[in-house]
Amino acid sequence: MSELHLSEALETLKEAGIRITPQRHAILEYMIAYMSHPTADEIYKALEDKFPNMSVATVYNNLRVFKDAGLVKELNYGDASSRFDFVTHEHYHIICEDCGKIVDFQYPGLDEIEHCASQVTGFQVSSHRLELYGVCPECVAKAQKISS
């Protein structure tokens, strides 16, 4: 499935007249393979051996290109770093308070909230965002191991 996502993303870039550089290709591959909502710095660290001359700024600039092309969403959760999500359709996130891991989840019933909010307030709702916070299974297991 990830090969299909990659070829569709590359086609989107081509249609937008954006050149496919090896760095762009590698960044897309990373984002599709790991689906981990990485920061530009995390992507840079993952790819620095493959592209020793590539800077964090290059990664960030390419992520902006992908964002403008509609391939990624930029997520801001109050910390200093933007995170980038390859999944651009409406979905929600649960965030581990210990390790920072972000996991996608779907809950279609929440779409009705936009309609309800519009009806109650008269606003023309453009979007909504839901974030849940907790502790991921890995961090729970780690904490239980330490305490026993």
Angle of CA points 135, 141, 143, to nearest 5°: 75
Strand partners, 75: 83
Is 96 annotated to bind a ligand? Reply is yes
Is 99 annotated to bind a ligand? Reply is yes
Is 128 annotated to bind a ligand? Reply is yes
Alpha carbon 8 to its chain's center: 17
Looking up tokens 């992520």 gives 63
B/e letters for 84-107, b = 16+ CB within 10 Å, e = fewer, are bbbeeeeeebebbeeeebbeeeee
Is 136 annotated to bind a ligand? Reply is yes
Is 116 annotated to bind a ligand? Reply is no
Rounded Cα gap, residues 64 and 109, in angstroms: 31
Binding-site residues for Fe cation, please? 128
Binding-site residues for Zn(2+), please? 96, 99, 136, 139
Binding-site residues, please? 96, 99, 128, 136, 139
